[in-house]
Structure 1
Amino acid sequence: MTESTNQTQPPTTTKPLTIGVFDSGFGGLTVLRALLPLIPNAHYIYLGDTARLPYGSKSRETIARYAVSSAKFLHEQGADLLVIACNTATALALEDIQQALPIPVIGVVQPGAHAALAASTQPTPDAPHHVLVLATAATVQSHAYTHALNALGLEACEKACPLLVPLVEEGWTNHPVTDDVLKIYLTEALASAPATQTLLLGCTHYPLIEPAIHRTLASINHPLTIIDSAAATARATAALVTEHFPNPATIDHPTTTFYATDSIEKFQRLGSNFLGQPVTEVNLVDLGG
C-alpha cells in the first residue's frame, strides 16, 4: 500500500484552495495546526468523526466504510485536496478513500516514514537505520509503518502505547503520571531495540507530549531524533499543493470550518488544546452508522 495521490489532477482554479482534513477524533488537529502556517492561503474543513471513534477497535471493513463516508462528506463540502490525519484510517483505508474520490488524497504514514529517512544516516543492507515507532495498538497491528519504513531501507520497531491517548485527552501532557508511563513504554521498547536512532511519533496525539518524551529520553540517557508525523504530513501536503494547485487565489489569512459527528462541547474543549487556539464554533453532522 502506498500513499501516492490519485491520478486525477484537478484543474487550476481562481477560487481559494479548500483543504479537507479528516480524523476519527481530535488528534488530526495537530496536523491542521502544522498546516495553517505552511499553507496560509487556504480554507480548511476539519471533520472529527467523534460519534464512531475509536476506529482502532473496529474491523478493517468498518473502518473503510466510516472513513470513505467522512471523506465523501468533505469532498461534498468543497474540498479540493484531502488529508487523512488519522493513522488508523491511513493504515487500513487509504486506498479505499483514494479510489472513492477524484481529488488528491494524502495520509500520515508515508510522510512520517520519509521524514525518518531524511533524518537517518545513510542506511545500507549491512547497517540499516533503526526507527522506533510509538503508536496506538491498531496502528501497530496494521504494521503500516513497518512496511513503509522497510520499503525505504529502514528497520522498524513498533511499540503500542494504549495509555497515551487517554492521558493526552485528559490534559495530562505535563504530568508525572505521563512521564512514568512514557518511561515504562520507552524502556521496554529500547530494551528490545537498543540500536534505535530515531523515534517516530506514529499517532497525531503524541506531538502534545513531545516535551515529555524528550525529558524521558534524557532521564534514561538514550537521546533520539524525534520525528513528528503530523509536521511531516503538513510539509508533504504543502509540496502536494505546489504540484497540483500552482496558482490558487490568495486570501488574507486561513479560515477553518469545523464539523464533528458527536460531542460538540467536548470537541471545542479538547480541540482548542490540540489546535493551540480556540475552537469556538463546531457544526454537528450526522453521517449515519
Structure 2
Amino acid sequence: MNQPIGVFDSGYGGLTVLREIVRTLPQYDYVYLGDNARTPYGTRSFDTVYQYTLECVRHLFDRGCRLVILACNTASAKALRNIQQLDLPRLAPDRRVLGVIRPTTEVIGTYSQTGEVGILATRGTVTSESYVVEIEKFFPELRVFQEACPMWVPLVENGEYNSPGADYFVKQHIDRVMAHSSRIDTLLLACTHYPLLLEKIRQFVPPGMTVLSQGHIVADSLVNYLQRHPELEAQCSRGGQRTFLTTDSTADFDRQATVFYGESVQSAHLAL
C-alpha cells in the first residue's frame, strides 16, 4: 500500500515548505493538499481553523499517510494541539501530525546575537501567541516582538509580490516591527507565503539582518524526526511520487503552484 507523507496548507504557501522537504528528502512519496476554496485561514476563528484542518488531515489519512505535516502557521497555531491531544488518540493512534512552529522555535535563538527577534506573521498566528509561548520554552531569555502583516498574503496570491505596489506594505510592517527595538537582528517569516516577498523584505531591513524562511528549517527537522522514529520512517513509501490536491480550481492551483513550488504541477480537485 502506498503510504506517502502528507503536507497540508490552507492554500499555496505550504508549497514553499514542500519544495525544501522534497529537495532534502526526494526519495519519499508526498501528497500535498491545499484548501484553496476556504483560504485564508488567518482571519478565521480557532474553532473554524481546527475543524477545517482536521477534515483535511483525515482525508490525508484516508489516502494512506502515516505522517502529516501542517505546513501552515495558522493551522499549526490554532489546530495542531487539539489534533495531537484529542483526535489522534481516538481516531488514529498510529499516525502522527507535525507543525511548522515547533521546529522553528527550537532553533530561532541560535540565529540571534543580540537576543532580540521579530516575528512577521498573519493576524491569526500573532493573536494565538504560539511563537511567544514556544520560544519561551527553548530560549527564555530571548525578547520576541510580533507584527501582523495582513496584506502580505493577498499581495502574494494576487501575483503582486514583485510589484512597486508591494513596497509600501512591506516597508510599513518592517518599520513597525523594528520600531520596537533597534537591537532586533533576526526576523522570522512566520507564514509560508512570505518567502516570495523575501527580495522586497531585504530591501527594507537594516544591513546585516538575518531573515529566516521556514522551509529548510522544517525539512531539517523532518530528517531528524524520521531518524528518531525508524518504525514510522519504515512505513513511508519510497517511489518519488508527488500528488497535488486542491479544494478549488485546478487551473488556478497549477498556475500559482509553479511560482511557489518552483516547477510545474498537475493537480486534482478534491471536494470536501
Same fold, TM-score > 0.5, yes or no: yes
Are 1:115 and 1:227, in contact at CA under 8 Å, matched by a contact in 2?
no
* Corresponding residue of 2:115: 129
* Corresponding residue of 1:118: 110
Closer/same/farther in 2, CA of residues 96 and 249 from structure 1, 3 Å limit: closer
Give structure 1 stretches of 5+ with no counterpart: 1-14, 122-127
Deviation at 1:141, TM superposition (A): 0.9
Q: 1:176 aligns with which of 149, 164, 188?
A: 164
Q: Could you tell me how far apart the structure 2 residues matched to 1:242 and 1:129 are?
A: 31
Deviation at 1:46, TM superposition (A): 0.6
Q: Could you tell me how far apart the structure 2 residues matched to 1:79 and 1:172 are?
A: 35
Deviation at 1:248, TM superposition (A): 6.2
Q: Could you tell me how far apart the structure 1 residues matched to 2:99 and 2:236 are?
A: 25
Q: Could you tell me how far apart the structure 1 residues matched to 2:8 and 2:237 are?
A: 23
RMSD: 1.9
Q: Could you tell me how far apart the structure 2 residues matched to 1:190 and 1:65 are?
A: 35
Deviation at 1:198, TM superposition (A): 0.7
Q: Could you tell me how far apart the structure 2 residues matched to 1:138 and 1:277 are?
A: 30
Q: Could you tell me how far apart the structure 2 residues matched to 1:270 and 1:115 are?
A: 30
* Corresponding residue of 1:58: 44
Q: Could you tell me how far apart the structure 1 residues matched to 2:236 and 2:210 are?
A: 38
Q: Could you tell me how far apart the structure 1 residues matched to 2:236 and 2:15 are?
A: 24
Deviation at 1:40, TM superposition (A): 1.0
TM-score, scaled relative to structure 1 = 0.85
Q: Could you tell me how far apart the structure 2 residues matched to 1:173 and 1:254 are?
A: 31
Could you tell me which amino acid in structure 1 is paired with residue 14 of structure 2? Answer: G
Residues 169-222 of structure 1, C-alpha deviations (whole Å, 9 max, x = no match)? 1222322222332112111210122221110010000111212211222xxx44
Q: Could you tell me how far apart the structure 1 residues matched to 2:248 and 2:211 are?
A: 33
Matches within 5 A, 1:141-156: 141-151=127-137, 152-153=139-140, 154-156=142-144
DSSP 3-state at the match of 1:51? helix
Are 2:4 and 2:237, in contact at CA under 8 Å, matched by a contact in 1?
no
Whether 2:33 is the aligned partner of 1:41: answer: no
Aligned length: 262
Whether 2:222 is the aligned partner of 1:237: answer: yes
Are 1:140 and 1:159, in contact at CA under 8 Å, matched by a contact in 2?
yes
Give structure 2 stretches of 5+ with no counterpart: none
Whether 2:200 is the aligned partner of 1:208: answer: no
TM-score, scaled relative to structure 2 = 0.90
